[in-house]
Structure 1
Amino acid sequence: MNDLEFLDCAEKLLLAVEQGCDRINDDTDADIDAQRVGGMVTLSFPNRSQIVINLQKPLHEVWLAAKAGGFHFRYDTGQSCWLDTKGEGEFFACLSRYASEQSGLQLTFSA
């Protein structure tokens, strides 16, 4: 994957996270505040906990920081998804799990 392909895939991921927050806020009482600055999206929950998603352009990775820890994801072209570099799973499944844990609600994010 070259730099332009990474940026295209990563931009789609960040946009899906932002749209997911909008959809979740419309459908639930989660009240997630999504703030984007460049290649970073910060999700803030009413209990003041946060999840931070940011691009690591030189590594072609997306990093996710949650209460559960820090996770690195790389795009797998064969599976057309972002996978954790240590085998913890697919990005949106992980984001859904950690956002649910931090919000106390069952939340689902998708690509």
Structure 2
Amino acid sequence: MTDTEYLDRAEALLVAIELACDRINELTDADIDNQRVGGMITITFANHSQIIVNLQKPLQEVWMAARAGGFHYRYDGQAWMDTKGQGEFFAHLSRYASEQSGQSLTFSS
């Protein structure tokens, strides 16, 4: 993947996260806040826990830090997949956000 392709796909992922946060706030009482600075989004939950998603341009990866740990994702041509073969980015984000918020939250591309 070229650097331009990576940046296009990574930007689409960040926009999808922002839109999902807006949708979740409209449809639930989750009250999550998302703040984006450049290639990093910080999602803050009502209990003040956070999930941070940031771009790692030199590696063409996306990193996520949650209470459950730190995770690295690389685009495989169809989806952002965990570099250790543990699953897809949005499935993980949904799971960790649900755990941290205490309610079922769904993020998707």
Q: TM-score, normalised by structure 1?
A: 0.97
Aligned pair 1:17/2:17, yes or no?
A: yes
Output one character per residue of 1:43-67: Cα deviation in whole Å (capped at 9) or x when no partner: 0001010000000000000000000
CA distance in 2, matches of 1:32, 1:61: 25
Unpaired runs of at least 5, structure 2 = none
Task: Pick from 76, 81, 84 the counterpart of residue 83 of structure 1.
Answer: 81
Aligned pair 1:110/2:108, yes or no?
A: yes
Task: Pick from 79, 88, 91 the counterpart of residue 93 of structure 1.
Answer: 91
* Structure 1 residue identity aligned to 2:86: E
Q: What are the within-5 Å matches in structure 2 for residues 6-85 of structure 1?
A: 6-77=6-77, 80-85=78-83
Unpaired runs of at least 5, structure 1 = none
Q: Please state how far the C-alpha of 1:88 moved relative to its aligned partner.
A: 1.5
* Structure 1 residue identity aligned to 2:5: E
CA distance in 2, matches of 1:99, 1:73: 17
* Identical positions, percent: 71
Pairwise CA RMSD of aligned residues? Answer: 0.3
CA distance in 1, matches of 2:97, 2:89: 12
CA distance in 1, matches of 2:31, 2:10: 25
SS at match of 1:54: strand
* Structure 2 residue identity aligned to 1:81: A
CA distance in 2, matches of 1:48, 1:65: 14
SS at match of 1:51: strand
Aligned length: 109
Q: Please state how far the C-alpha of 1:76 moved relative to its aligned partner.
A: 0.6
Q: TM-score, normalised by structure 2?
A: 0.99
